[in-house]
Amino acid sequence: MHRLGLVRDIDLALHLPLRYEDETRLSRLSRLRDGEAALVEGVVQDSRVESRGRRQLLVRLQEDPDGGDRGGELTLRFLNFHSGQQRQMAPGTRLRVRGELRGGFLGREMVHPVVRAVAEGEPLSASLTPVYPTSAGLPQAYLRKAVASGLHRAVLAEVLPPEAIPPGLPPLKEALRFLHHPPPGTDLEALHERHHPAWQRLKYDELLAQQISQQQARVERGRLTAPALRVAAGGLYEALLGVLPFALTGAQQRVVEEIAADLAGEGLDTTRPMHRLLQGDVGAGKTVVAALAAAVAIDAGWQCALMAPTEILAEQHFRKLVGWLLPLLEARGRTVAWLTGSRKGKARAQMVERVASGEAALVVGTHAVIQDDVHYARLGLAIVDEQHRFGVHQRLALRRKLAGGLEPHLLMMSATPIPRTLAMSYYADLDVSTIDELPPGRTPIVTKVFVDGRREEIVARIRDEAAGGRQVYWVCPLIEEAEEPPEGREPATAALAREQPALRNVIETHAMLEQALPGLAVGLVHGRLKAADKAAVMARFSAGELAVLVATTVIEVGVDVPNASLMVIEHAERFGLSQLHQLRGRVGRGSQASACVLLYSPPLSDSGKQRLKAMVETTDGFEIARRDLEIRGPGEFMGERQSGDAMLRFADLQEDEALLRAARQAAAALLRDHPEAAARHVSRWLGTKAELLKA
């Protein structure tokens, strides 16, 4: 519960259901259609274990055996079971069973239903049964009880003055009771879409808490000081511009100036710390901007730390940057320190020493750069790549790396664009720079959609690319069969997912390609590999030693191998649109024509069709973000959140833009006229997390 942040009663009250199960009524088997989920009741007639290719427990249930019409029959099928379960479902037991009805080989059946033994005539629930997001080891039934009692105990009196609440929204207490325990007959569809006024109230309150605390943070940050960092004539910044193999685009130039102005301050030795988000589509060229910002800090006599969320990114993405800067630094008697999880022992100690002595002007790595024992001589600027993949704690730790009452400047980079106006109204405490132009000379990536059967053609295409000296990515959605079930899903569903024969996995695909492409080196990288092994494979691919790289989404962001010209994505229908866009962005980074092939297996859902269509029709990240929102509708990809709003649990920045604007205004008015109400509201919503928001 602690891990889920469920500490106070109010936390429990605000832990809202993912969905609901209707146990307020029993269905008759004869009325149910194939594919319908329902609660039914019956008595076990017999139960036996069979081996139809695989050991399974089959329990035959008779609905209403003593009644006049004898009711219907139903088979329960369990592929994973233990002997205790079999005993619980012994003949003669009355069971209440919830699951999805299927017309199976054995007649009507439910696979892995949720089963409970009941007495005859046991009463049904009075309200819909909530299903909460949970994590491994925390049973749903336990959590349900805890939330119910937390909700009961929590003090939910209104803390906001009436003028701070938009008209038409119910009181908080009412909204919460409704959302946890909707009465029978509630339109679950509407509830799921989160348009119900009860949902609106929750979202509004959440956004209001964010806005209040960010507006406060902005005021507080104005009182903090950071060193003023200015470009030195004849320094690293100028030298770097001199060695770059290309000219900056207009957009790059503009954002570099925005950053340099923040760092320089207004002519004094200190200024307020920069807190800037640099967003730009995949391939827009954020890395060079980061390098130039680092050069400014180093010119001014300070250190710069660069942090990426994974070791692959740290090594791959920053290699180019370090390649530019290292010779220039060494010519000035300075160097670079690498800090990643896989660098240990003596090597690490040496790096840590370089950081502490200040010999390392640039410190590059994963979260290892902020570990407690890493002390900086003079950290002036911290740059965080793919900022949405970092926890706020890590960003806070980075900021604390500078002693003496000064704060380092903070530059965060993100490839998940959100419209600029929206970003600015949400991030009250963040300035936003956007690179809205791609480097010249890029041939647009051609995207094609193929049904999965046509593999020979694609394999032939790979041969062509390789013959021309170019490289290929092949991305698969799954690592291997036994993947952890996603959070909040029940194990039974995961077991079903495992059964899906259509899920090709990355290991099989690798074997298939090795066989189909004799003479070509095919590499394999996935999340289960050790960091050092991953890095080694990536290094070989970067160096051009591998023609093909079979990978999971570990390569999703940041990897930069300009020689790669073909991206094949298997089971593309299983990926979200923004993820597909990120993956496609791994090719088309050089001047040669590149292509992206999306393989799918029919049947395609409507939204799946639209996602693939959007990919074919546009390569513009902002347009993709807009389409994504249009297609997915709220809730479809729960948990897949846009950058930066990881702190939002209920509201969706684009979907709830109107609520956001209302909250923004109300926050300013509250801080001015009712600061105590503002403080109470924030502490109710964010508790101890309020501090984190300022990171």
Cβ pair 433, 255 in contact under 8 A: yes
The distance of closest approach from Cβ of residue 320 to ligand ADP in the complex, given in angstroms and rounded to an integer, is 6
Per-position DSSP letters for 345-369, written without gaps between them? HHHHHHHHHHHHHT-EEEEEESGGG
Q: Rounded to the nearest whole angstrom, what is the least distance from the CB of residue 253 to ligand ADP in the complex?
A: 9
Q: Shortest distance, CB of residue 615 to ligand ADP, whole angstroms?
A: 18
Residue (of 343, 325, 337, 419) closest to 644 by Cα position: 419
Q: How far is the CB of 578 from Mg ion (least distance, A)?
A: 15
* Nearer residue to ligand ADP within complex by CB, 319 or 332: 319
Residue 286 C-beta: closest distance to Mg ion, Å: 5
Q: Are 380 and 300 in contact (CB under 8 A)?
A: yes
Question: Rounded to the nearest whole angstrom, what is the least distance from the CB of residue 369 to Mg ion in the complex?
Answer: 17
Which stretch of DSSP H or E encloses residue 616? helix 606-617
Q: How far is the CB of 560 from ligand ADP (least distance, A)?
A: 4
Choose the stretch contacting Mg ion; rule: CB under 5 A; options: 455-463, 553-561, 631-639, 679-687. Answer: 553-561
Pick the piece of the chain touching Mg ion (CB under 5 A) from 154-162, 555-563, 578-586, 607-615.
Answer: 555-563
Nearer to Mg ion among residue 324 and residue 600 (C-beta): 324
Is-contact 17 179, C-beta < 8 A?
Answer: yes
Q: Which of Mg ion, ligand ADP, none interacts with 288 (beta carbon under 5 to 8 A by kind)?
A: ligand ADP
How many residues sit close enough to Mg ion to count as binding (CB under 5 A)?
A: 1
Classify the C-alpha dihedral 8-132-484-89 as positive or negative. Answer: positive
Task: Reduce the secondary structure of 174-227 to three states and give it as a string.
Answer: HHHHHHHCCCCCCCHHHHHCCCCHHHHHHHHHHHHHHHHHHHHHHHHHCCCEEE
Question: Pick from Mg ion, ligand ADP, none: which does 283 bind, CB < 5 to 8 A by kind?
Answer: ligand ADP
* DSSP letter string, 269-333: SEEPPPEEEEEE-TTS-HHHHHHHHHHHHHHTT-EEEEE-SSHHHHHHHHHHHHHHHHHHHHTTT
Q: Which does 252 bind (CB under 5 to 8 A by kind): ligand ADP, Mg ion, none?
A: ligand ADP
Q: Closer to Mg ion by CB, 42 or 558: give it.
A: 558
Is the distance from CB of 524 to CB of 547 less than 8 angstroms? Answer: no
- Give whichever of 113 and 558 is closer to Mg ion, judged by the CB atom: 558
Query: In this complex, which beta carbon is closest to ligand ADP, that of residue 208 or of residue 288?
Result: 288
By three-state DSSP, how is residue 518 classified? coil
Q: CB under 8 Å to 112, separation ≥6 — which residues?
A: 77, 78, 79, 80, 99, 492, 493, 495, 496
Which residue of this chain has its Cβ atom nearest to Mg ion in the complex?
558
Task: State the minimum distance, in angstroms, from the CB of residue 382 to ligand ADP.
Answer: 17
Two structure tokens written together for 561? 């191998």
Alpha carbon distance 426, 423 (integer Å): 5
439 binds, among ligand ADP, Mg ion, none (CB under 5 to 8 A by kind): ligand ADP
∠ at Cα 367 (372, 478), nearest 5°?
145
The interface partner of residue 17, options being ligand ADP, Mg ion, none and the CB cut-off 5 to 8 Å by kind, is: none
Cα(459)–Cα(518) distance, integer angstroms:
11
Contact range with Mg ion by CB under 5 A, out of 84-92, 183-191, 558-566, 674-682: 558-566
- Which of ligand ADP, Mg ion, none does 249 bind, CB closer than 5 to 8 A by kind? ligand ADP
Q: Which stretch binds Mg ion (CB under 5 A): 81-89, 165-173, 224-232, 556-564?
A: 556-564
Tell me the closest approach of the beta carbon of residue 477 to Mg ion, in angstroms: 23
Give the shortest CB-282-to-Mg ion separation in angstroms: 7
Instruction: Give long-range contacts, CB 8 A cutoff, 24+ apart: 655-659.
Output: 655/629, 656/203, 656/207, 657/422, 659/166, 659/200, 659/203, 659/204, 659/207
Q: HEC profile for 417-481?
A: CCCHHHHHHHCCCCEEEEECCCCCCCCCCEEEEEECCCHHHHHHHHHHHHHCCCEEEEECCECCC
Q: How far is the CB of 307 from Mg ion (least distance, A)?
A: 13
Stretch that binds Mg ion, among 103-111, 431-439, 513-521, 552-560 (CB under 5 A): 552-560
Residue 381: its H or E element: strand 379-384
Other C-beta atoms closer than 10 Å to the C-beta of 341 total: 17
Q: In the bound complex, which residue of the shown chain has the CB atom lying closest to ligand ADP? A: 285
CB of 563 to ligand ADP, least distance (A): 10
H/E element, 99: strand 94-100
Compute the least distance from the CB of residue 509 to Mg ion, in Å.
26
Which one of ligand ADP, Mg ion, none interacts with residue 285, CB within 5 to 8 A by kind? ligand ADP
Find, among 534, 612, 537, the residue nearest to 575 by Cα: 612
User: Least separation, in Å, of the C-beta of 559 and Mg ion?
Assistant: 9
Piece of the chain touching Mg ion by CB under 5 A; list 246-254, 425-433, 551-559, 580-588:
551-559
Residues that bind ligand ADP (CB under 6 A): 246, 248-249, 252, 280, 282-288, 320, 415, 439, 560, 562, 589
Binding segment for Mg ion (CB under 5 A), chosen from 370-378, 504-512, 550-558, 602-610, is 550-558
- Select the binding partner of residue 380 from ligand ADP, Mg ion, none (C-beta < 5 to 8 A, by kind): none
Residue (465 or 560) nearer to ligand ADP, CB: 560
CB of 417 or CB of 558, closer to Mg ion: 558
CB closer to ligand ADP, 437 vs 508: 437
Q: Which of residues 566-605 bind Mg ion (CB under 5 A)?
A: none
Helix (H) or strand (E) holding 114: strand 114-117
Distance, in Å, from the CA atom of 74 to the CA atom of 72, rounded to the nearest integer, reads 7
Residue (178 or 541) nearer to ligand ADP, CB: 541
**Residue 288 or 513 having the CB closest to ligand ADP:** 288
Residue 248 partner contact from ligand ADP, Mg ion, none using kind-dependent CB cut-offs of 5 to 8 Å? ligand ADP
Nearer to ligand ADP, 282 or 566 (CB): 282
Is 180 within 8 Å of 198 (Cβ atoms)? no
Considering the complex, state which of residue 285 and residue 523 has its C-beta at the smaller distance from ligand ADP: 285
Q: Which is nearer to ligand ADP, 429 or 436 (CB)?
A: 436
Q: Is the Cβ of residue 284 or residue 479 nearer to ligand ADP in the bound state?
A: 284
Phi, psi of 144 (to 5 degrees): -60, -45
Q: How far is the CB of 141 from ligand ADP (least distance, A)?
A: 46
Task: Report the residue number, 284 or 418, with the smaller CB distance to ligand ADP.
Answer: 284
Cis, bond preceding 167 (omega within 30 deg of 0): no
How many other C-beta atoms can be found within 10 angstroms of the C-beta atom of residue 120?
8
- Using the structure block, give the residue that is written with the tokens 């929750």: 202
The secondary structure of 522-582 as a DSSP string is: EEEE-TTS-HHHHHHHHHHHHTT--SEEEE-GGGSSS---TTEEEEEETTGGGS-HHHHHH
Look at residue 387 and give the partner it binds from Mg ion, ligand ADP, none, a contact being a CB closer than 5 to 8 Å depending on partner kind: none
Backbone phi, psi, residue 339, to 5°: -130, 110
Residue 558 binds to Mg ion (criterion: CB under 5 A) = yes
Residues that bind Mg ion (CB under 5 A): 558
